[in-house]
Structure 1
Amino acid sequence: MGTKGITYKDAGVDIKAGYEAVNLIKEHVKKTHTKGVMSSIGGFSGLFKIDTDKYKEPILVSGTDGVGTKLKVAYMMDKHDTIGEDCVAMCVNDILCQGAKPLFFLDYIGTYNIEPTVISKIVEGVANGCVKAGCALIGGETAEMPGVYSKGEYDLVGFAVGIVAKDKIIDGLSISEGDVLIGLKSSGLHSNGFSLVRKLFFEIEKFSVNQYVDELGTTLGEELLKPTRIYADVIEKILDKYAVKGMSHITGGGFYENIPRMLPEGFVADIDVRYIDTPAIFKLIEKLGRIDKKEMYSTFNMGIGMVIAVDKEDGDRVIEYLDSIGERAYLIGEVKKGEGGIRICHQ
Structure 2
Amino acid sequence: MTGIADYDAIVLGAGAAGLMCAATAGQRGRRVLLLDQADQVGKKILISGGGRCNFTNIHTGPERYLSANPHFAKSALARYTPADFIALVDRHGIAWHEKTLGQLFCDGSARQIVAMLLAETAKGKVDIRCGQSLSEVEHSDATFRGTFGNFRFTAPNLVIATGGPSIPRMGATGFAYDLARRFGLKVVEPRPALVPLTLGGADVLFRELSGVATPVEARAGKAAFREAALFTHRGLSGPAILQASSYWRHGEPVTIDFLPDAAPGWLVEAKRARPRATLAAALGGALPDRLAQVLTERLALPGELGAQSDRKLADAEVRLKRWTFHPNGTEGFAKAEVTAGGISTAGLSSQTMMAKSLPGLYAIGEAVDVTGWLGGYNFQWAWASGYAAGQTL
| TM band (smaller chain) | under 0.3
TM-score by length of 2: 0.25
